[in-house]
A and B are shown apart, each in its own frame.
Chain A
Amino acid sequence: MTDAPAPTPTKALDDVVVLFAGDSGDGMQLTGGQFTLATAHARNDLATLPDFPAEIRAPAGTLYGVSGFQLHFGSGSVLTPGDEIDLLVAMNPAALKVHLPRVRAGGAVLVNTNSFGDRDLSLAGYDANPLEDGTLDGYERHDVELTRLTHEALAETGLSKQEMDRAKNMFALGLSLWLYTRPVEPARHWIRSKFEATPDLRDANLRALDKGYHYGDISESFVARYEVAPADLPPGTYRAIRGNEALALGLVAAGAKSGLDVFYGTYPITPASDLLHALAKYKAFGVKTFQAEDEIAAIGSAIGASFGGTLGVTATSGPGMALKGEFLGLATMVELPLVVIDVQRAGPSTGMPTKTEQSDLLMAIYGRNGDTPTPVIAPRTPGECFLAAFHAARIALTYMTPVIVLSDGYLGNGSEPWLVPDADALPDISVSFAETASAALSDAVDPASGKGAFLPYVRDQETLARGWARPGTAGLEHRVGGLEKDARTGGVSYDPENHQRMTETRAEKVARIADAFPPVEVEGDEDGDVLVVGWGSTYGAIKKAVQGARAEGHRVGHIQLRWLNPLSPGLEEAIGRFRHVLVPELNNGQLVRILRERFLVPARSLSKVQGLPFQAREIEAAIYGVMSEG
């Protein structure tokens, strides 16, 4: 036993923003994920922002190859991944250069000094070494020889230099856990299970992790450790969840609560693929996954499954949505239930696949040939993705319609503590298939058989949903298709009046979905200066901005829409109670057009299309800007 060093003093903080940044091969996403897990175990509220390049292994040391994982945790409510960084862990000069501007004045910077050689500096575009030229003046600086220390720690293991290099992120993780007094056992547990089959790598990673943790105590670089008290979260069982995982669970729940199997047809696309990875494991939950040959076949197979009486689901991102358009129109025409999930990313075209955006809203609502009304729901947080998927399925099955879920890359990859819902408390989704011709909503007679015929487009008078007759049901043989259908018989019809009636009926059916919605919820002030209307993943940033403006004495309200089509009742009245309407969106102004068109109000747009979520202060500034205009 060596002498234990004197314990480092601990300071309490309300909240902290940490950013791990390095090469895309440095394991930063993994490091961030493990730090998140430890933070969840420490019972803080948290929000994360993974930010990584599209290249799997971008050239080492380059600015565009920098991969970052930002985590905001606190003892109070944490709404965003944080505007400013309290601790930047920079594995190389490129990471430092990209992210240093976001570190708050006086914030901490931990650098791996072993990676600041001439070539590293040159790749990052540094003319002089930022460790030596005063660049880091004004920051709390921790120079750590991460590479050398990791090598020393693993010298006895017999691992190659390259293999030892790979473990330096575990050293950094251990040190960061120590610095913020996080529990280290969750990471140990993860390493043991991840490297179960390779004991030498398992032991090396465990050793690097522990050495990093102990380094904090023996190094004199750190004058204090930090502590963030547990958040006051509602009681219950929690898990950290990412939006894509929550969507997958919501679909499984919809299957369980409707009694239907789930068929998930999809084609891999960033950032939606994790949904497939999750669902492919759930075969024992009545889920079938099908990796189709393309985006079109993916949605087509889901419609085929729905035709057969299964809950058909497909998911994609923007470019894939564009390809699915024709089939979405068919699903509207044949009135079959279908859930279509769009995990949005920056566009147009291929755009920036790993960067988030909300620019598919107008495509989701309008982007098909013909008048093709389609319900659209948008979750607001990673955890809320669960209910968004569940309710999308519920509406699809109740109203016999496709429903679009608009998530985005920020929600899909971001995580938060999630209060595990009570499975028994979820509502049942009532599905009744047409079983006999006599129960087929019709008194019509099949001229061939003389028996009662099944008329597929006869509707429930309340929901306007048509009957769902599965193949295999005797006496209900019928044909559906993309040609316009006679409103009564379901036969092909080119009748002018019939097309008018069917177009209006399809619109009315979607409009009626709002009848069951509760009125919009206004957070903050009920009337006053500015109403901020947002949708989807901007929820936390807007909420924080509104809190800030109200703390300054302004009367500001906030509505974060979940349903984008149809809109919830009460929105127009709420808008009327404010002098200004501000619509922050991660697009070039889409919801704002809808509000202007629907309510004839001079709503203002706050647009951000930088591949990153809003910072709360950007929205707060816009609130003041709108008010200053009178």
Chain B
Amino acid sequence: MPPPDDSAARPGGTPPQPRGAEGARPDTPQPAGTRKPVEAPAVPPVDGEPGEPAIPETGPDTPAPRTPTMPPAGGGPRKADGPKLPPSKKPARPPGAPRPAVPPQARTIDPEGDGAALGLPVLSRKDFVSGADVRWCPGCGDYAVLAAVQRALPELAETRENVVFISGIGCSSRFPYYMNTYGFHSIHGRAPAIATGLKATRPELDVWVVTGDGDALSIGAGHTAHMLRRNVDLQVLLFNNQIYGLTKGQYSPTSEVGKVTKSSPYGSLDHPFNPAALALGADGTFVARTLDRDPKHMQAVLKAGHAHRGTSLIEIYQNCNIFNDGAFFDFTERDSKPLRAIMVEHGKPAVYANGTKGLVVDGLKVRSIDLDGGRTAADCLTYDSSDKSLAFLMADQLFWDADLPRPFGVLYQEDRPTYDALLNEQVAEVTRQRGRGELAALLASGETWTIG
């Protein structure tokens, strides 16, 4: 066989090219713009403490008494002290349903941070670090997520033993091994199934699903959609790096059309998933997006997701510096981020580019306006994360249009009863009405007759 002539061998001739900004609607999210060398996250120390990678962030390693950055909002006890989150809403439970059996103080945020006032043991980041060697590639974005979660958990969980991390298969799915909590590294795409069974039977547990774009949106896409519609009370950390990493570099269901990889030498033909739109389409009750290179934003989103009752889908743009380096640099790097990323917050005007631009909704279109000539933030859209139609506009239009910034933050949140609460309430109600069943009576039920 002669070596394939590059153009002649392409099935269908010219490979599909991403339509440019001048096209009516680009067929694909813009991949990274210009790729430029950036300072990768620091390599984990070879001889250092395992699981303690340094990441470019300053944060307390030990729970020094914390001063909330803002007063706790007048919501429920799970209200985190992160920045500017949507107002807390009533827990999603059926009317009159008791809350799952968690000690009342379990998820209370201790304003002093040392737990002393509540008589609780003080947990620190170190308590959540398992002894296992972290085996991600040096420079992988996964380290930042691990560190953010380990930093956030002392504030979110009063005990380690009630925390469970469940993953599928893929680079991100190694995550549970690095957490000193209960953990289950399962099979490809199926973490939602395990998590649903666990949460249905142990609703008091604090369950996190860790997954990736291949795990959650390709082999496990069905389970992801069903978990979202059922609204199982757990957090989903969806590491999206737009590539298959563990199998060494094939395109993923979120890769852009035309992507050249080992499995697509002439460019991939697959139209990608838009994870946020998929989650909204599946009636997800909490849809958020954050970035590995913005740890503070990530922590705030993690806390908001944890505070939400129901399935909190948190898509994390995560750089795979080996197989897809720079996939999200448009949104993370200093010179492009202002124009390409907008941090939306409930009740806040949708402004970006350091306050020089804003978004308005014009009919069913989202438009960008320059904030000059007397136009101010007050002229911009005030983001409402409880507005599903708006969330769809933002998730969809801003995903495909390279001239608009991509939204990060809590895109959508609603209260809806969780599957686990409904199931346990139904069981409790049936048991209350009928009394706890007696085995002997059940065995002898129905039409019986006696001999002898």
Chain A proximity mask over B424-436: 1 for CB below 8 Å, otherwise 0: 0011001100111
- Bound-state Cα–Cα, A557 to B129, Å: 63
Known A-B contacts A261-B201, A420-B443; A300 and B451 likewise in contact (beta carbons under 8 Å):
no
Say which residue of A288, A294, A312, A480 sits within 8 Å of B183 (CB atoms): A480
In the complex, whether B360 has a CB less than 8 A from a CB of chain A is: no
B162: Cβ under 8 A from any A Cβ: yes
B331 in the interface (beta carbon within 8 A)? no
Nearest A residue to B202, CB-CB: A308
Residue in contact with A239 in the complex, picked from B182, B223, B446, CB distance below 8 Å: B446
Asked if A452 CB lies within 8 Å of chain B CBs, one says: no
Chain B 373-389 interface residues, beta-carbon cutoff 8 Å to A: none
Any chain A CB within 8 A of the CB of B448? yes
Q: Is the CB of A472 within 8 A of B202?
A: yes
A residues in contact with B200, CB < 8 Å? 263, 288, 290, 301, 304-305
Of B190, B199, B447, which contacts A297 at CB under 8 A? B190
Task: Using A283-B427, A475-B161, A479-B184 as known contacts, say yes or no to A302 and B451 having CB atoms under 8 A apart.
Answer: no
Say yes or no: B161 contacts A310, CB within 8 Å. no
- Establish whether residues B184 and A480, one from each chain, have CB atoms under 8 Å apart when the complex forms: yes
Residues of A within 8 A of B105 (CB): none
| Interface residue A608 (Cβ < 8 Å from any Cβ of B) | no
Does any Cβ of A come within 8 Å of B418's Cβ? Answer: no
Count chain A residues whose beta carbon lies closer than 8 angstroms to a beta carbon of B: 75
A252 B439 Cβ-Cβ under 8 A:
yes
Question: Looking at the complex, which of B173-181, B256-264, B316-324, B408-416 is the stretch in contact with chain A?
Answer: B173-181
Return A393 CB to nearest CB of chain B, in Å: 14
Q: B132 at the A/B interface (Cβ < 8 Å)? A: yes
Cα(A447)–Cα(B190), bound, Å: 32
CB-CB contacts of A10-25 with B at 8 A, as 1s and 0s? 0000000000000000
Chain B residues, Cβ within 8 Å of A298: 193
Q: Which residues of B contact A296 (CB under 8 A)?
A: 190, 193, 223
Query: Is B192's CB under 8 angstroms from A297's CB?
Result: yes
A174 within 8 A of B: no
Contact A477 B182 (CB under 8 A): yes
**Contact status B226-A297, CB under 8 Å:** yes
* B452 lies within 8 A of A235 (CB): yes
With most chain A CB atoms within 10 A of its CB, the pick from B180, B184, B205 is B184
Given that A308-B198, A479-B184 are known contacts, is A472 also in contact with B166, CB under 8 Å in the complex? no
Return the contact of A40 from the options B185, B193, B447 (Cβ within 8 A). B447
Q: Which of A237, A290, A421, A446 contacts B450 (CB 8 A)?
A: A237
Q: How far is the CA of A236 from the CA of B129 in the complex (A)?
A: 61
Chain A residues in 8 Å Cβ range of B185: 479-483
Mask: chain A, 419-462; 1 = CB below 8 Å from B; 0 = not: 01111100000000000000000000011100000000000000
Main DSSP-derived SS at the B contact region: mixed
Decide yes or no whether A131 CB sits under 8 A from chain B.
no
- A235 and chain B: residue at smallest CB distance: B452
Q: In the bound complex, do residue A304 and residue B193 qualify as a contact, i.e. CB atoms below 8 Å apart?
A: yes
Q: Are A297 and B196 in contact (CB under 8 A)?
A: yes
Pick from A237, A283, A471, A478: contact of B449, CB below 8 A.
A237
Query: In the complex, what residue of chain A is closest to B429 when comparing beta carbons?
Result: A283
- Interface contact A492-B177, CB-CB below 8 Å: yes
- Most B-side CB within 10 Å, residue of A41, A298, A481: A481
- The answer to whether A82 has its CB under 8 Å from any CB of chain B is no
Chain B residues within an 8 Å CB radius of A261: 201
Near A by CB (< 8 A), chain B positions 90-109 give none
Q: Among B132, B181, B193, point to the contact of A300 (Cβ < 8 A).
A: B193
Q: Please encode chain A, from 258 to 277, with 1 for each CB lying within 8 Å of some chain B CB and 0 for all others.
A: 00010101000000000000
Instruction: Flag if B162 contacts A471 (CB, 8 Å).
Output: yes
In the docked arrangement, what's the CA distance between A303 and B162, Å?
18
Q: Once bound together, how far apart are the Cα atoms of A547 and B179, in whole Å?
A: 64
What's the least CB distance linking A293 to chain B, in Å?
4
B:196-216 near A, CB below 8 Å = 196-202, 204-205
In the docked arrangement, what's the CA distance between A477 and B132, Å? 13
Task: Type the 1/0 row for B249-270, where 1 means its CB is closer than 8 Å to any CB of A.
Answer: 0000000000000000000000
Q: A237-B448, A283-B427 are in contact. Are A301 and B196 (CB under 8 A)?
A: yes
Q: How far is the CA of A523 from the CA of B202 in the complex (A)?
A: 47
The one of A256, A265, A448, A491 that contacts B180, using a Cβ cutoff of 8 Å: A448
**Please, how many angstroms separate the alpha-carbon atoms of A448 and B184 in the complex?**
20
With known contacts A283-B430, A327-B187, A479-B130, A234–B451 Cβ distance under 8 A: yes
Contact, CB under 8 Å: A476 / B161: yes
* Residues of chain A contacted by B426 (CB below 8 angstroms): 283
- B131 CB within 8 Å of chain A: yes
Q: Are B205 and A256 in contact (CB under 8 A)?
A: no
Asked if A300 meets B194 with Cβ closer than 8 Å, knowing A288-B200, A472-B162, the reply is yes
Chain A residue numbers with a CB within 8 Å of B198 are 304-305, 307-308, 471
Query: Is there a chain A Cβ closer than 8 Å to B359's Cβ?
Result: no
The answer to whether residues A482 and B187 also contact, given A283-B431, A305-B200, A472-B162 and a CB cut-off of 8 A, is: yes
**A88 in the interface (beta carbon within 8 A):** no
Q: How far is the CB of B436 from chain A (nearest CB, A)?
A: 6
Complex Cα spacing A492 to B446, Å: 51
Contact A300 B442 (CB under 8 A): no
Q: Does A240 contact B (CB under 8 A)?
A: yes
Instruction: Report how far A14 CA is from B196 CA in the complex, Å.
Output: 55
Query: With A and B bound together, what is the CA distance between A297 and B197 in angstroms?
Result: 9
Query: How many angstroms from the CA of A540 to the CA of B131 in the assembled complex?
Result: 58
Query: When each residue 590-607 of chain A gets 1 if its CB lies under 8 Å from chain B and 0 otherwise, what string results?
Result: 000000000000000000
Min C-beta distance of A172 to chain B, whole Å: 21
A284 touches B194 (CB 8 A): no
Is B159 an interface position by the 8 A CB rule? yes
Contacting residues of chain B (211-265) with chain A, CB-CB under 8 angstroms: 222-223, 226
* A236 contacts B442, C-beta separation under 8 Å: no
Selected contact of B437 from candidates A238, A282, A491, CB within 8 Å = A282
A282 and B443 CA atoms in complex are apart in Å by 12
**B192 CB → nearest A CB, Å:** 7
C-alpha spacing A326/B188, complex, angstroms: 9
Whether a CB of chain B sits under 8 angstroms from the CB of A6 is: no
A307 to B182: give the CA distance in the assembly, Å.
10
Which residues of A39-84 are within 8 A (CB) of B?
40-41, 43
State A235–B169 Cα separation when bound (angstroms).
Answer: 56
Is A583 in the interface zone, CB < 8 Å from B?
no
**CA of A298 to CA of B431, assembled, Å:** 24
Q: In the bound complex, do residue B190 and residue A477 qualify as a contact, i.e. CB atoms below 8 Å apart?
A: no
Query: For A286, A297, A302, which residue has the most chain B Cβ atoms within 10 angstroms?
Result: A297
Within 8 A of B (CB), among A130-144: none
Residue B351 is within 8 A (CB to CB) of chain A in the complex = no
**Which A509-534 residues sit within 8 Å CB-CB of chain B?**
none
- Give A329 to B442 CA distance when docked, in angstroms: 34
Can you name the residue of chain A whose Cβ is closest to the Cβ of B51? A448
Asked, given contacts A41-B449, A283-B430, whether A256 binds B439 with beta carbons under 8 Å apart, the answer is: yes
A253 on the B face (CB < 8 A): yes
How many Å lie between the Cα of A41 and that of B448 in the bound state? Answer: 8
In the complex, what residues of B have CB within 8 A of residue A420's CB?
443-444, 448
| Residue in chain A with minimal CB distance to B446 | A239
Q: Is the CB of B448 within 8 A of A43?
A: no
B440 within 8 A of A: yes
Provide the bound-state CA to CA distance between A294 and B221, in Å.
12
Smallest CB separation, A186 vs chain B (Å) = 6
Q: Which 6 A-B pairs have the closest CB atoms?
A: A235-B452, A300-B193, A481-B185, A304-B197, A301-B197, A304-B194
14 A–B contact pairs at CB < 8 A?
A: A237-B450, A263-B200, A282-B442, A290-B196, A292-B193, A293-B226, A296-B190, A304-B194, A304-B198, A308-B205, A448-B126, A472-B162, A472-B202, A492-B177
Taking A43-B449, A448-B130 as known contacts, 13 extra A-B pairs with beta carbons closer than 8 A to each other, sorted by chain A number, are A41-B447, A234-B451, A238-B450, A240-B447, A256-B439, A300-B186, A301-B197, A307-B194, A448-B126, A472-B204, A477-B161, A478-B182, A481-B185
Seen from chain A, the residues whose Cβ lies within 8 Å of a Cβ on chain B are 37, 40-41, 43, 186, 230, 233-240, 249, 252-253, 256, 261, 263, 265, 282-286, 288, 290, 292-294, 296-310, 312, 326-327, 330, 334, 420-424, 446-448, 470-483, 491-492
